[in-house]
Structure 1
C-alpha cells in the first residue's frame, strides 16, 4: 500500500525519527520491538530471514526495485529532500525499512541446536565492529555467535548495514550472566579458546581439533577480561611477524583478528 508523504514531521514516519541519535534509537527500537534495514539487498535478506515488515520509507525512483518482495506492506514514498532530511544522511541504497524483531533464543536453546563453532564476544560496544564480525563469521563457517550482556545490538542499523545482512543469517543469543557464561558453555561441551595478543599462547591454527569450540574475542583496545582469560580452556594467538613485533605492533584490530582467527580454526580442523 503506497502512501505519499510530503512532511518530514508526519507522525506516520515516527519509526524513522532522528536516525543519528544513537541513545534515542536504542530506547525507541527496544520499546517498539523494531529495527531498521537500509538498502535493497539488506531489506531483501531481512524479509527472506522471516522478519515482518512494519513499513518501508523510500523515494519514487526506488519503488520498482523492491516491489516483488513488499507484498501488501505499507510503503511511505517521499521526495529525495525529505528522505535526506529524515535520515540525516544521503541514503544511497534507496530505501529504509522498519522491521519487527523476532524473539531472541535463550543461550541454552542456541547451544542445543547442534552448533559446533561459536564466536563469543565480550563487551564489544562498537556497532560497526559487531556487524563486521558477523559478516566474517557467516563467511568463514561459524555456526552461531554469543554476546556478553553488554555487547552492542547486532540489529542496530549500523551493525546491520556493515554486516550486509549477515546478522540475519547466523543465529545468535545473549548471555544472561557474564560471570558464569563460560561455565555454561563448558557444561554444554564446548572447548573455550581465548584469543590474546600474547605471543606465548598457542597459534590459533595449531590447536587440537575438538567437536565443539567456542572462540572468545574481547573488546577493541582492552581485549578479554582477566576473568575470561583465566576461565578459558586455552589461550590462543595470531602469530605476528618479527618485524611487526620489533616495531611495537603486537596485535590486530578486533575485526581483522576475528576473521583471521576464524580462518585459523578452519585450517586446524583440516
Structure 2
C-alpha cells in the first residue's frame, strides 16, 4: 500500500531524525554499518521499483518536493520522507547537494557466492572481480552487467564496496538490480564457480585466445582484475585466458570498457 503523506520539514541540520545523512563524505570513508546512501532521482526510483533493498528514509531538497510529488506518492508506508531547504540540506550532507535527493538504504544480510551460484540458471553468465578499487570502474562494470543481462557478480574482499554511493550512481542504479556477493579471495571465488559447473574465463592482455573465438555456451563466468596488475598469476595459470586484440602499442583498456566488450560478446 502506498501513501501520499507530505514530507516532514527539517529546519535544523542537527535534527536527530536525519543523523544518518550527516557528513556523508566522511561516513563514506568510515562506513555506516548496515546502511548505504542512494543519491539522485533515477537511482531512487529504481530502488523503489525493484524493492530488492529496503529503504529506511528519504531526504529531499525543499524546492524539489513538488517536482518529485509523484515519487513521494509511491513511497510505501513506514518510510520517513524528510524535506529541508537547500542550505540546511547542504549543511547536513557537508557539501552542496546538486541532485537534491538522498535516501538511506539497508544492506540486509547480503548474499554469499555459494547461495548465488546455487540458484543460477543452466545458461547463467557471471562476472568475477578481483581487486577493483576504483568506484567508477565498479559502477561501470555493474552497468554493463545489467545491460547484458548477467545473472550475478562475485566480488573478492579486496575490491571496493559496490554499495558505495558513487558506484551506485555511476552504475545508474544497476548495482541495485544485479545480484552480487562479496568476500573471500578471487581464487576461492574461482573454486566456487568451477564447482558449480561454470566454464571460467580469465581476461588478460596476454590471453592465449581471442575473445572473438570464444563461444557463449552453457554456464560461463569471466574474471576481471585491477588495471595494471590484472588477475593474479596463479589464477591465470589454471584457466582459459582471453584477450581483446588491439592495434599499435596499446595492450589494455579500462577495465569497465573491457567488461562491456566482453559481456556483449558473451551475452545470452
1:6-155 equivalences under 5 Å are: 6-21=11-26, 24-25=27-28, 27-29=30-32, 31=33, 33-50=34-51, 51-64=53-66, 65=68, 66-72=71-77, 73-115=79-121, 116-155=124-163
1:239, CA displacement in angstroms?
A: 0.9
Distance 1:7 1:253, change over 3 A: same
Tell me how far apart the structure 2 counterparts of residues 197 and 178 of structure 1 sit (CA, whole Å). 18
Structure 1 residue runs without a partner (length 5+): none
Distance 1:71 1:60, change over 3 A: farther
What is the TM-score normalised by the length of structure 2? 0.88
Structure 2 residue runs without a partner (length 5+): none
Give the aligned length: 256
Which position in structure 1 is the counterpart of 2:199? 191
Q: Deviations over 1:59-106 (max 9, x none)?
A: 222223122222432122111112223334433332100112232222
What is the TM-score normalised by the length of structure 1? 0.88
Tell me how far apart the structure 1 counterparts of residues 263 and 171 of structure 2 sit (CA, whole Å). 16
1:212 maps to which of 208, 211, 219: 219
1:252, CA displacement in angstroms?
A: 0.5
Q: Deviations over 1:108-150 (max 9, x none)?
A: 1111222410110001121221111100111123221110112
1:152, CA displacement in angstroms?
A: 1.3
Which position in structure 2 is the counterpart of 1:158? 166
1:179-258 equivalences under 5 Å are: 179-198=187-206, 201-232=208-239, 234-241=240-247, 244-245=248-249, 249-258=250-259
Tell me how far apart the structure 2 counterparts of residues 69 and 41 of structure 1 sit (CA, whole Å). 14
Tell me how far apart the structure 1 counterparts of residues 93 and 173 of structure 2 sit (CA, whole Å). 19
2:9 maps to which of 1, 4, 10: 4
Mapped contact 1:39–1:93 kept (Cα < 8 A) = yes
Give the CA RMSD over aligned residues: 1.8
Tell me how far apart the structure 1 counterparts of residues 96 and 227 of structure 2 sit (CA, whole Å). 29
Which runs of at least 4 in structure 1 moved beyond 6 Å after TM superposition?
none
Return the structure number with greater helix share.
Answer: 1
Mapped contact 1:37–1:160 kept (Cα < 8 A) = yes
Tell me how far apart the structure 2 counterparts of residues 209 and 3 of structure 1 sit (CA, whole Å). 52
